[in-house]
Amino acid sequence: MTLNDFFSRDLQAKRSRTTRGALAAVTVVAVLLRLAMEMPAAPPAKSLQVYFLDVEGGQATLFLTPDGESLLIDTGWPGNAGRDAGRIAAAAKLAGIPKIDLVLLTHYHMDHAGGAPQLVAKIPVGTFIDHGPNREPGDQATEQVWEEYQKLLAEQKVKRMSVKVSDVLPLNGIHAEVVSSDGAVLPKPLAEGGARNAACANTEKRSADQTENARSLGILLTFGKVRILDLGDLTWDKELELVCPVNKLGAVDVYIVSHHGSSQSNSPALLAAITPRLSIMDNGETKGGAPTSWDIVKSAPKLQDFWQVHYSKEGGAAHNSPDPLIANLQGPDEGNYLKLTVSADGSMEVYNSRTRATKHYTAAQQRAD
């Protein structure tokens, strides 16, 4: 081999190694880009984050305030080998919080408060918030949930706070005001409300509900210019007290669809009054998402998107949102969640953990008339 041959082969080898190294670098970059596209974007500084968890037709909604404080609305079902408590604890870990500061129980039905004992066994809780005593003692399942809640408070020595209408939750960074509690609703309009509601005249009047649903503890959360309404399972008759003949609430940006989309709630008068930009429904495949209720929410005059935690089997093809707006489609239980991020500038985005896609909503869209 001549010296020229040696240098020629050496040069070829170096070029080969350089090419392989470059290809490897490109591959690494491609993988990192793919992972970045699949993962939800890091939330902007000083944002409000809201996780809508799949508890199969119950409710468990986790709020993380800009100041790092946490509020969980409801705890899902009991049983199921601790499924719902496990999903809440997993969401708390994803949010980077070691405990839940406040757990608000809207009412004492099993799908909302039944998972409280299992939750406390999974993750520390600071304070429970409720509307007061159980008002449905004749229902055995509801009374059992109430009794287990009382036992939990006594044995675990967890703090408890019962709140009434117009109380404000002790949270820094957001304003969370009670608008319904233990059968009472706001006595007078909020600053954003006060207008007469023309839809009241054509909305069916219904008799008073006698269950815990009508006692639901409802709150209106405000962060910057964005307002989020969660009324638990508040029933049709109580909705009309809130928005008829005068709309006491005013418009909201995000409506957490009442009662999982049940036809016992979500009256036309309510939706005409609050005119949400986004609706998010915590239904299950076989619980909630009634077609009549879905139609009323969907027809809200300023609605941009209707997000669902589950595909509704009852709704069928005609009464479900497009697949990209649904966290869990038909089939095996996947436990996917939706995450709402509200920025200080008033913009919002929703991340679907099933599709790993995020949809952005600008502040201008929210407030456009």
Q: What is the pLDDT of residue 7?
A: 35
Identify the band that residue 333 occupies on the pLDDT scale cut at 50, 70 and 90.
confident
Q: What is the pLDDT of residue 208?
A: 96
Cα torsion angle, 262, 265, 268, 272, sign: negative
Tally of structural domains, the chain? 2
DSSP 3-state of 341 = strand
Shared domain for 105 and 190, answered yes or no, is yes
Shared domain for 51 and 21, answered yes or no, is no
Shared domain for 116 and 20, answered yes or no, is no
Shared domain for 237 and 353, answered yes or no, is yes
Cα torsion angle, 251, 254, 260, 262, sign: positive
Q: List pLDDT tens digits, range 248-288.
A: 999 999 999 999 999 999 999 999 999 999 999 999 999 99
Q: At residue 192, does pLDDT exceed 50?
A: yes
E-assigned strand segments in 132-217: 159-162, 175-181, 184-185
Q: Which tokens is 219 given?
A: 């709150």
Shared domain for 9 and 137, answered yes or no, is no
* CATH number of 295's domain: 3.60.15.10
Shared domain for 134 and 8, answered yes or no, is no
Q: What is the pLDDT of residue 242?
A: 98
Q: At residue 39, does pLDDT exceed 90?
A: no
Q: What is the pLDDT of residue 45?
A: 53
Shared domain for 25 and 68, answered yes or no, is no
Q: What is the pLDDT of residue 21?
A: 47
Shared domain for 11 and 52, answered yes or no, is no
Shared domain for 23 and 61, answered yes or no, is no
Domain span holding position 116: 46-367
Shared domain for 69 and 186, answered yes or no, is yes
Shared domain for 119 and 8, answered yes or no, is no
The per-residue pLDDT of the chain, averaged, comes to: 89
Count CB-CB contacts under 10 A for residue 117.
19
Of 184, 172, 275, residue with least CA distance to 223? 172
Shared domain for 158 and 293, answered yes or no, is yes
